[in-house]
Structure formats: structure tokens, C-alpha cells
């Protein structure tokens, strides 16, 4: 029996996506019931590794030239499970359960806003309007989930030992902020335009030295928290402080420019006709 290589290559990126779903499901099973701190830590690691599979499925599809609408939809469904439902349940079990219905609502808001963001992205993709390749519109759901995972890994046992409401409120505020950023129009850099250069190497070295300093002064597990917080703060700072540049006229497609000129010509013709035959301004 001859194997169709093309079909086999089509399955390859989807295997990465399904692996991400499996890790998200595994994290959900670890969080179910009376989860111990060790199980919550393992669930956070499962979501962390799901981020790697999610990062590579699209790249594998582009390398093998097997991009498809099916893969786009499957990737979104995987993100809802692995980076929406799983982190929401994880942060609820880890820190927000003592807050009762409020904690439940905050956890649900993370999953709901993640699903809304993915739905918006799919609609824009179907319209062919995904925005600039240099920026994400809103905080990507894998990075929002990564922030929760980083917090759990950094001090997963602390919030199981201290169940006072005052100690849980900062975590609730972080989850609310992440939920808002996912459905906002805050722009976050994709870094797809970064090329190998002296400047990029210097920036990478600075980030590495900063992470090393944090690891030495505190704990290595806090490095990921610092990186995630810096990325979130960078997007907020650029949105609040840097005004987007207006689109230059040369960037307007020729067909759009022709339509605009046609509309202006029609408006001018209507104005001339109105001057020739003035009518009542009000009826």
C-alpha cells in the first residue's frame, strides 16, 4: 500500500496541536477534586509544556506548507482547553477558592475572555484583517496563561497554606487584569520583525543578565514571572505613551484609492447639481 506523503505531512502539525490539548486535559485532571500543592505544580508544568507545542504547530505547518482552515480552527479549540479552561481551574484551586463565588467569577472571567479573544481572532482571520504582523491585538491567550503558570510555579505552596482573603485579592486582581487585556485593543509586539544584529544580541544579553540577577537574588522560578510582567507592561506603555503613526497615502492600495476618488467625484457632481436646482433644506 502506497503511503500518501502529502496527507502524512498534513497530520504532522495537527499532532502538535492535539498534544497541546492532551496536556491541557491532563492539567484539568490534576486540578480536579482536592488537588494537592504537588498536583497543582504538575498541572502548571503541563500547561507550560503545552505552550511549546502551541508555539511550534504553526511553524511546522508553514515549513511543510500544510496550512489549512481546519488547522486554524483546531488550534483555537486547543487554546480554549489548554490556555483558557485549564489555567482558570488551576488559579481557582490554587488561590481563589477561598473567595467563594467571587473567586469563581474571577476564574470564569479568564476562561470566558480567552474564548472571546480567540473568536475575535478567527473572525478577523476569515475577513483577512488580522492586523499588523508586528503586533497582536490584545494579550495572546497563551501568554496570559503563561503568567498564571509562572505565578503558580514561583510560589505554588504559599496560597495553599495561607487561605486568608487578603492574601488572595492580589491574585484575583492579576487574573482580572489578564482577562481585560485579552479582550482589549492593547497592542503587543510579536517580535517577528527582529533580525540578527548587534542591537538584538545586546538586547538578548541584557534580558539574560536580568534573568540571572533575579535568579541569584531570589529564586530561579521568579525569572519567568519577571519576563511575563515586563512583556505585559511593555504593551501597556506603548499603547498609552506611543501614538500610532498615520498610514501614509502611498500605503493605500490602488483599488481603494480609485474607489475613494470615485466617491469624491460623485459628491462633487451632486454639489454642482444642487447648486443648479436648489431644493428645500428641510421637509
Q: Could you tell me the pLDDT band of residue 16, with boundaries at 50, 70 and 90?
A: confident
Residue 275 to residues 262, 269, 272: CA-CA distances in angstroms? 20, 10, 5
Between 147 and 275, name the one with better pLDDT.
147
Specify the pLDDT at position 206. 79
Instruction: State phi, psi for 67 to the nearest 5 degrees.
Output: -65, 145
CA neighbor of 68 nearest in space, from 115, 19, 17: 17
Instruction: State phi, psi for 250 to the nearest 5 degrees.
Output: -65, -20
pLDDT digits (tens, 9 = 90+) for 99-158: 989 999 999 999 999 999 998 888 877 776 655 567 788 899 999 999 999 999 988 766
Pick from 172-176, 201-205, 249-253, 265-269: least confident: 265-269
Mean pLDDT of the 77-83 span: 93
Question: Which DSSP symbol is given to 140?
Answer: -
Instruction: Give me 129's grid cell.
Output: 484583517
Inter-axis angle of helices 69-80 and 37-64, nearest 10: 170
User: Which superfamily is assigned to 5-194 in CATH?
Assistant: CDP-alcohol phosphotransferase transmembrane (TM) domain (1.20.120.1760)
Listed as own residue / partner, the contacts of 66-70 with beta carbons closer than 8 Å and 24 or more positions apart are 66/9, 66/10, 66/12, 66/13, 68/10, 70/14
Stated pTM of the model: 0.77
Q: Tell me if 81 sits within 8 A of 31, measured CB to CB.
A: no
Q: Could you tell me the pLDDT band of residue 73, with boundaries at 50, 70 and 90?
A: confident
Percent over 90 (pLDDT), the chain: 33
Q: Tell me if 220 sits within 8 A of 145, measured CB to CB.
A: no
Q: Is 189 helix (H, G, I), strand (E, B) or coil?
A: strand
Amino acid at each position: 500500500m502506497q503511503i500518501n506523503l502529502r496527507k502524512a505531512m498534513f497530520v504532522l502539525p495537527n499532532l502538535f496541536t492535539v498534544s497541546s490539548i492532551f496536556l491541557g486535559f491532563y492539567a484539568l485532571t490534576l486540578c480536579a477534586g482536592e488537588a494537592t500543592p504537588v498536583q497543582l505544580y504538575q498541572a502548571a508544568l503541563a500547561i507550560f509544556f503545552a505552550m511549546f507545542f502551541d508555539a511550534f504547530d504553526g511553524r511546522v505547518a508553514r515549513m511543510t506548507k500544510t496550512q489549512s482552515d481546519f488547522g486554524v480552527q483546531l488550534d483555537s479549540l486547543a487554546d480554549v482547553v489548554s490556555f483558557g479552561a485549564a489555567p482558570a481551574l488551576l488559579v481557582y484551586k490554587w488561590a481563589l477558592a477561598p473567595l467563594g463565588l467571587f473567586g469563581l467569577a474571577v476564574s470564569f472571567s479568564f476562561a470566558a475572555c480567552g474564548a472571546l479573544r480567540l473568536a475575535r481572532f478567527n473572525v478577523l482571520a476569515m475577513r483577512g484583517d488580522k492586523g499588523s504582523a508586528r503586533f497582536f491585538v490584545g494579550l495572546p491567550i497563551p501568554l496570559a496563561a503563561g503568567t498564571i503558570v509562572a505565578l503558580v510555579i514561583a510560589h505554588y505552596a504559599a496560597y495553599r497554606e495561607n487561605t486568608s482573603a487578603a492574601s488572595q485579592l492580589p491574585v484575583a486582581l492579576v487574573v482580572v487584569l489578564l482577562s481585560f487585556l485579552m479582550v482589549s485593543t492593547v497592542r503587543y509586539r510579536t517580535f517577528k520583525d527582529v533580525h540578527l544584529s548587534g542591537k538584538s544580541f545586546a538586547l538578548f544579553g541584557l534580558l539574560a543578565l536580568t534573568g540571572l540577577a533575579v535568579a541569584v537574588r531570589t529564586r530561579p522560578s521568579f525569572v519567568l514571572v519577571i519576563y511575563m510582567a515586563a512583556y505585559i507592561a511593555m504593551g501597556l506603555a506603548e499603547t498609552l505613551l506611543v501614538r500610532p503613526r498615520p498610514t501614509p497615502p502611498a500605503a493605500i492600495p490602488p483599488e481603494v484609492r480609485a474607489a475613494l476618488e470615485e466617491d469624491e467625484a460623485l459628491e462633487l457632481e451632486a454639489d454642482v447639481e444642487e447648486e443648479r436646482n436648489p431644493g428645500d433644506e428641510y421637509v
